[in-house]
Amino acid sequence: MQLLADLGFDPVLAPGMDSRLEYLAGTDSNRLDGLMALWRDESVSAIMCARGGYGCMRLLDRIPYETIEHHPKTLIGFSDVTALLHALHQRTGLITFHGPMVTSLAGLDEPSIQAFVRMTTSPRMPDLLWPEVEVLKGGDSEGALTGGNLTMLCHLMGTPYEPEFDSAVLFIEDTGEVMYRIDRALTHLRLSGKFDRLRGLLIGHFGESAQEEHVWERVLELWGGDGFPIWGRAPIGHGSSNHILPIGLPAVLNSARCSITFPYD
């Protein structure tokens, strides 16, 4: 909270932030009430989730999406919050933001913090330059950004909140998953046919570097023959680098520059 204030924001806490119920941060009703209290508060312009964890999917069929649509705000989070980001985008068309949360922001590197400030305060989306990226398959492409936590993306499949993958630039990340589970999730997505028309694939953090390279290998086995760029080591997810990305916004990938730009009419 102090870092947010130091960065020029005026943070306030949602009601019920200290609630606990077994593995959840309170009952579904209490968590939804806290979210909607902030959403209805006209003095609040953005909602940054405190942390990930469990239970976002339990809220998806209870959210009053009409209220969300009529009172648009910026929503920021990642990990379990992937479900909430996509539900709001699919049901309302709202651009949501995959990025740092309150408990993770202070542990990020300076480029991630600066990207967070630029993305949340600029009237236009600033360009992103990622020199640390490993270009596994080159090329340029354009498509709407979508993605997030790999496990949550799989769990959203077959629900009304499933992301739109056609002509999309997809980014994925995960944490605490052994390689065989990651392999199973990736294979499931390939077999579903949902990724057949992707425009790009960005692979974020997946744990230790050795495991990340195994993830790259499996991704290339599954999609290396398709006609879109694939990047590894993207600064996304559970790590010291986690750049904020807008879900639903068109983006242009340039593999030679390792850049993401956002075109405007």
Q: Is 212 a catalytic residue?
A: no
Choice among 79, 141, 241, 255 that is catalytic: 79
To the query of whether residue 79 is one of the catalytic residues in this protein, the response is yes
Report the 10 Å Cβ neighbour count for 70: 10
* Cβ(260)–Cβ(253) below 8 Å: yes
> Look-up: residue for tokens 């999406």?
65
Q: Which of 86, 98, 205, 238 is catalytic?
A: 238
What are the φ/ψ torsions at residue 242 (nearest 5 degrees)? Answer: -155, 90
Q: What is the phi-psi region of residue 217: left when phi exceeds 0, alpha when psi lies from -120 to 50, beta otherwise?
A: alpha
* SS3 of the chain: helix, strand, coil, percent, to 5: 35, 20, 45
Q: Residue 126's closest CA among 249, 256, 210? A: 249
Q: Six-digit token pair at 162?
A: 């499933």
For residue 36, what are the contacts with CB-CB under 8 A and spacing of at least 6? Answer: 63, 64, 67
Closest CA to 233 of 258, 250, 251, 256: 258
Q: Give the pairing type, strands 140-149 and 250-254.
A: antiparallel
For the four alpha carbons of 194, 243, 106 and 50, in that order, the dihedral sign comes to negative
Joined tokens for residue 97: 């933001």
Catalytic residue among 89, 104, 112, 173: 173
Let me know if 209 is a catalytic residue.
no
Tokens of 183: 């392999």
Active site residues per annotation: 79, 173, 238
